[in-house]
Amino acid sequence: MQLQEILYSQGFGTRRVCAGLIQQGWVQVFSQGEGGGPLVCKEASAEFEAPGLRFRVQGVDWPYFEKAYVLLNKPAGTECSQKPSTYPSIYTLLPSPLRLRPQKAAVQGVQAVGRLDQDTTGMLLLTDDGKFIHRMSSPRHHVPKVYEVTVKHPLDTRQVDLLLSGVVLDDDPKPVRAAACEAVSEFHLRLTLTEGKYHQVKRMVAAVSNRVEALGRSQIGGLTMPADLAPGQWRWLDAADLALVSG
């Protein structure tokens, strides 16, 4: 694949912009052999094997990925929307190439796999793989998601038992059950869900006469939040991570 096409596919702008970056000497390519350092390439039409390629654009190193899969530690006070109404968008936390990766659809860049409320923190997956988004979002696949919930009133076994047996939400007569639930401490509830209704955790906790004071997602499938990933930071997901997520 031509270097210009590689940069374009990774979200570095139009083909003309990518060609300009290359011709001006802003692009270095790492040797695909062991221990190869980055070399400046000024030929936009230079051919490279894209899979496994690493390159440096304006001083920042990037790996080539046919599809992008990333994990963001969502901070509080952010919206999972390209056009936020009140709070900053989570997309402002990502570098521009992730936001500009070309897609056949009208919307560019990676998209959130589901949404978290503006005050909810924790694990959020983003990708430009539409099939992955559909698979992860479909209720048929029952992907478990674990939430760490701080509640206002002390927890008791009755509340935990009700959440496990099922509570009725105001817009659905069918009881909604937690896949798993435990009182970690007097005010800390760990709740596992396999579906994603609107404000589900908050409404389920309210249904057992308690109130959510703070909420964070700590796990999706078998993948847990990395301890060294601070709020607002992101990282690439590798094949092992995706296997854990998909179960």
Tens-place pLDDT, residues 83-131: 989 999 999 999 999 999 998 777 789 999 989 999 999 999 999 999 9
Last residue of a domain, one of 23, 40, 63: 63
Q: Which domain holds residue 197?
A: 144-220
CATH for 32: 3.10.290.10
pTM, rounded to two decimals: 0.93
Q: For the sheet containing 27-30, what is the strand order?
A: 38-40, 27-30, 54-57, 60-63
CATH for 77: 3.30.70.580
Tens-place pLDDT, residues 64-77: 999 999 999 999 99
In which element (H, E) is residue 38 found? strand 38-40
Q: Clarify whether residues 230 and 121 are in a common domain.
A: yes
Q: ∠ CA(32), CA(37), CA(40), 5° rounding? A: 95
Residue 120 has what DSSP assignment?
A: -
The sign of the dihedral angle between the CA atoms of 187, 168, 113, 81 is negative
Q: Give CA–CA dist 202/58, Å, rounded.
A: 44
Q: Clarify whether residues 235 and 119 are in a common domain.
A: yes
Q: Which amino acid is at 128?
A: D
Q: Is 236 a residue whose pLDDT tops 70? A: yes
Q: Clarify whether residues 169 and 200 are in a common domain.
A: yes
Domain count, the chain: 3
How much is the average pLDDT of 159-188?
A: 93
Q: Clarify whether residues 29 and 86 are in a common domain.
A: no
pLDDT at position 37: 79
Q: Clarify whether residues 129 and 188 are in a common domain.
A: no
Six token digits for residue 164? 């496990």
Q: Give CA–CA dist 203/167, Å, rounded.
A: 9
Last residue of a domain, one of 63, 79, 108: 63
Q: Is 174 a residue whose pLDDT tops 90? A: no
How much is the average pLDDT of 153-168?
A: 96
Q: Is 247 a residue whose pLDDT tops 70? A: no
Tens-place pLDDT, residues 209-234: 999 999 999 999 999 999 999 999 99
Q: Which amino acid is at 124?
A: L
Q: Clarify whether residues 27 and 85 are in a common domain.
A: no
Q: Clarify whether residues 134 and 240 are in a common domain.
A: yes
CB-based burial label for 244 (10 Å; 0-12, 13-18, 19+): middle
Instruction: State the average pLDDT for the chain.
Output: 93
Q: Clarify whether residues 134 and 173 are in a common domain.
A: no
Question: For a pLDDT cut of 90, what percent of the chain falls above it?
Answer: 83
Residues labelled as active-site residues: 117
pLDDT at position 35: 65
Q: Which residues make Cβ contacts (< 8 Å) with residue 242, sequence separation at least 6?
A: 69
Q: Clarify whether residues 175 and 209 are in a common domain.
A: yes
